[in-house]
Chains A and B, each alone.
Chain A
């Protein structure tokens, strides 16, 4: 007999570390999660192509945001170079599939791996630099990588970029929105499960220790250099994977798709979602990806009443984007994830919340 899976636990009663570390705190959570996953797996059957396409973009952004969160949220190393690393992933996959004729299934993990290596290379300065200085160094990485991409004409096609194909299995091509959604969905699930488990291991806890106080972590025997570079490696791997997925989805890679504003968008995602939270990255990615879409439809509705609103849409997007970032920073620095858990906590003992 399956009991109501949406009943919440009314508190936490952990008597050993194993319970504290568990992903499924109580058995019903497992059913709840399975049902939510099933919901997302089934939803393209009923949704229109447009909605499924948006969902695909959100999912790809979420993979990249989880990657960035591993580095910035969990290890505390600020990176303003995600845009360029997305580009490295996209371009690697593009070059491997179009110029070398490799199959997508080989090029895809290789794209992640090569981005990870590039990321680790730019992570090396993190031993000596922290906080502000590291952020500036990653910004420089962004500028330099983009320069290389847009100038290495023979390999990258210069500013015109490269055209990619959708992946294939046998004679089946992931051409429809729905099929690509499922491809993204599988990769996203693997990413989430991997990163949730990463922070239950020795490596993940070392990352968190470095974030909280790196010198103290070093005193406790954590090899700072090794783990910081490792954090850059793991993080860039997922960013590269996201870049490759995005490249094959939009079927084009070109330098202006990976500008610094993309880096800022990804930073905004993890900030709005919640630093140091895997699901937070997911919420943030959805929020930031859908924001311009929602804004556009609002403008479409209002443009009947206020003509000329169309012309300032680009500027309005920037203003709203900036205002959202600042408001989140001021009122909920822990992001959507914290908001969600606040709501859950409110109802956990409702209507007797004060007994907590």
Chain B
């Protein structure tokens, strides 16, 4: 039982990070119908910037995190302006290839600047494990969960009450109507990309604190796909629930099934779920069904 709970807690924590990153992904899809294959690279750049500030310039962690987030926001904003703007309304394959090209450029830049070897954060959180009954949690995990929850609350409030949040929901609902109400859809797209870069950076910093930082961290960018599909590509609550579900399933598979097949199943199981979901319920748990007419 203790093992089960341990796996469950790990799954929820890792899943909540997936949820956060998937949130950015869904946000971009919702506002501009683009699938962002560069999400993983956003994550990587955010965490590398934070790591460099902490490790090389001795900036306090919180300040470094905020600076990294500001940098990510700027990156997301300018990437939308420079690279993605020409592709609005273009065929799906152009959009996909554009973000794939973008991810290649960003990955290349990361390799040029930071190289390939794994780096670790200097210990930020205390090392003393927390004990809840039978379950032992590393403070890194507990703090990650708390930080993700704070961000999710911030975003819920942002979408519900702030001017830009409401404008974003309006744009996602009906672009033309939003335009005619005087909302600058271009600004909304740019904000969506900035937010996506911010949440990815937060996810990257947290995962970097848990596992260390190297370029394979960008694979999270692919894992976001099963999460988003499970929850429904255009649903923000779906992304959150999907993230946590995928995290739990992954962790359980790692705990119970991996020893049987000799490892590696953990990485693949989200994609198996992805295929099943696509076959059974293509629009996910909460996604909006599209109706097509000739």
Using a CB–CB distance below 8 Å, which chain A residues touch chain B?
A: 72, 78, 80, 125, 128-129, 131-133, 135-137, 139-141, 143-144, 147, 150-151, 213, 215-216, 219, 260, 264, 267-268, 271, 275, 312, 314-326, 329-330, 333
Q: Is B229's CB within 8 Å of the partner chain A?
A: yes
Q: Is B108's CB within 8 Å of the partner chain A?
A: yes
Are B94 and A140 in contact (CB-based, < 8 A)? no
**Which of A78, A147, A150, A312 meets B111, CB within 8 Å?**
A312
Instruction: Known A125-B279, A133-B282; judge A329-B98 contact (CB<8 A).
Output: yes
A128 contacts across to B, CB distance below 8 A: 278-279, 282
Q: Is B133's CB within 8 Å of the partner chain A?
A: no
Specify the chain B residue showing the minimal Cβ separation from A320.
B108
Using a CB–CB distance below 8 Å, which chain B residues touch chain A?
A: 35, 83, 86-87, 90, 92-94, 96-98, 100-112, 222, 225-226, 229, 233, 261-262, 264-265, 267-268, 271-272, 274-275, 278-279, 282, 292-294
Are B225 and A322 in contact (CB-based, < 8 A)? no
Query: Chain A interface mostly helix, strand, loop or mixed?
Result: helix
Specify the chain B residue showing the minimal Cβ separation from A268.
B97
Are B108 and A322 in contact (CB-based, < 8 A)? yes
Are B294 and A132 in contact (CB-based, < 8 A)? no
User: 11 more A-B contacts (CB under 8 A) besides A131-B92, A144-B275, A216-B294?
Assistant: A78-B93, A136-B274, A140-B278, A141-B275, A147-B264, A151-B264, A264-B104, A267-B97, A271-B93, A314-B111, A318-B108
Are B104 and A318 in contact (CB-based, < 8 A)? yes
Q: How many A-B residue pairs have CB under 8 A?
A: 135
A132 contacts across to B, CB distance below 8 A: 35, 92, 96, 233
Choose among B35, B282, B293 the residue with the greatest number of A CB atoms under 10 Å from its CB.
B282
- What CA separation (Å) do A316 and B105 show in the bound complex? 9
Choose among B100, B103, B109, B111 the residue with the greatest number of A CB atoms under 10 Å from its CB.
B100
Query: Chain B interface mostly helix, strand, loop or mixed?
Result: helix
B293 contacts across to A, CB distance below 8 A: 215
In whole Å, how far is B172's beta carbon from the nearest beta carbon of chain A?
16
In whole Å, how far is B76's beta carbon from the nearest beta carbon of chain A?
16
Specify the chain A residue showing the minimal Cβ separation from B87.
A329
Choose among A141, A143, A268 the residue with the greatest number of B CB atoms under 10 Å from its CB.
A143
In whole Å, how far is B130's beta carbon from the nearest beta carbon of chain A?
35
B98 contacts across to A, CB distance below 8 A: 325-326, 329
Specify the chain A residue showing the minimal Cβ separation from B275.
A140
- What CA separation (Å) do A133 and B230 show in the bound complex? 12
In whole Å, how far is A92's beta carbon from the nearest beta carbon of chain B?
21
In whole Å, how far is A111's beta carbon from the nearest beta carbon of chain B?
24
**Which of A80, A137, A143, A322 meets B103, CB within 8 Å?**
A322
Are A325 and B112 in contact (CB-based, < 8 A)? no
Are A318 and B111 in contact (CB-based, < 8 A)? yes
Are B97 and A136 in contact (CB-based, < 8 A)? no
**Which of A125, A133, A216, A329 meets B101, CB within 8 Å?**
A329
Are B97 and A325 in contact (CB-based, < 8 A)? yes
A322 contacts across to B, CB distance below 8 A: 100-108
A-B contact pairs, 21 of them (CB 8 A): A125-B275, A129-B278, A135-B35, A136-B229, A137-B274, A140-B226, A140-B272, A143-B268, A143-B271, A147-B267, A213-B294, A315-B107, A315-B112, A316-B108, A316-B112, A318-B104, A318-B108, A318-B111, A320-B108, A323-B101, A325-B97
**Which of A216, A320, A323, A329 meets B94, CB within 8 Å?**
A329
- What CA separation (Å) do A94 and B100 show in the bound complex? 31
7 closest A-B pairs by beta carbon, nearest first, are A318-B108, A322-B104, A325-B101, A315-B111, A322-B105, A319-B108, A315-B112
Are B282 and A147 in contact (CB-based, < 8 A)? no
Instruction: Known A215-B292, A321-B104; judge A133-B94 contact (CB<8 A).
Output: no
Are B92 and A317 in contact (CB-based, < 8 A)? no
A324 contacts across to B, CB distance below 8 A: 101
Are A318 and B107 in contact (CB-based, < 8 A)? yes
A333 contacts across to B, CB distance below 8 A: 90, 94
- What CA separation (Å) do A170 and B171 show in the bound complex? 69
Are B104 and A325 in contact (CB-based, < 8 A)? yes
Are B261 and A136 in contact (CB-based, < 8 A)? no
- What CA separation (Å) do A300 and B72 show in the bound complex? 34
Are B294 and A78 in contact (CB-based, < 8 A)? no
- What CA separation (Å) do A187 and B138 show in the bound complex? 58
A216 contacts across to B, CB distance below 8 A: 294
A72 contacts across to B, CB distance below 8 A: 93
In whole Å, how far is B215's beta carbon from the nearest beta carbon of chain A?
10
Are A329 and B97 in contact (CB-based, < 8 A)? yes
Are A133 and B278 in contact (CB-based, < 8 A)? yes
A316 contacts across to B, CB distance below 8 A: 108, 112
Are B262 and A151 in contact (CB-based, < 8 A)? yes
- What CA separation (Å) do A326 and B35 show in the bound complex? 15
B279 contacts across to A, CB distance below 8 A: 125, 128
Are A78 and B96 in contact (CB-based, < 8 A)? yes
B105 contacts across to A, CB distance below 8 A: 318-319, 322-323, 326
Are A275 and B93 in contact (CB-based, < 8 A)? yes
Choose among A268, A320, A329 the residue with the greatest number of B CB atoms under 10 Å from its CB.
A329
**Which of A131, A264, A319 meets B112, CB within 8 Å?**
A319
- What CA separation (Å) do A329 and B90 show in the bound complex? 10
Are B108 and A317 in contact (CB-based, < 8 A)? yes
- What CA separation (Å) do A352 and B262 show in the bound complex? 71
Specify the chain A residue showing the minimal Cβ separation from B263.
A151
Instruction: Known A128-B282, A131-B92, A319-B112; judge A140-B271 contact (CB<8 A).
Output: yes
In whole Å, how far is A252's beta carbon from the nearest beta carbon of chain B?
21
In whole Å, how far is B220's beta carbon from the nearest beta carbon of chain A?
14
